[in-house]
Amino acid sequence: MKKFCVIGAGNFGFNIARTLYEDGHEVLVIDNNRSHIQQVSDHCSVAMVADAADKEFLAAQGLAEMDAVVVAIGERSHAATLATLFLKELGVKRLVVKSVNEDHGRILRKVGADEVVYPEKDMAIKTARNLASPNILDMLTMAEGYSLNEIAPPAGFIGKTLIELDLRRKFGVYVLGIKDVLTDEFLLMPPPDRQIRDSDMLLIFGKATDVDKASRC
Phi, psi (degrees; rounded to nearest 5) at 162: -60, -35
- φ, ψ of residue 183 to 5 degrees: the values are -105, -10
What are the tens digits of pLDDT across the range 65-94?
A: 999 999 999 667 889 999 999 999 999 999
Q: In angstroms, rounded to a whole number, what is the distance separating the alpha carbons of residues 75 and 68?
A: 21
Query: What is d(CA 181, CA 184) in angstroms, rounded to the nearest whole number?
Result: 5
What is the pTM (predicted TM-score) of this model? 0.64
Residue ranges of domains in the chain, CATH in brackets? 3-122 (3.40.50.720), 134-214 (3.30.70.1450)
Q: How many CA atoms lie within 13 A of 112 on its CB side?
A: 19
Which pLDDT tens digit goes with each residue over 14-61?
999 999 998 889 999 999 999 999 999 999 999 999 998 899 999 999
Q: What share of the chain is helix, strand, coil (3-state, %, to 5)?
A: 45, 25, 35
Question: DSSP class of residue 194?
Answer: P
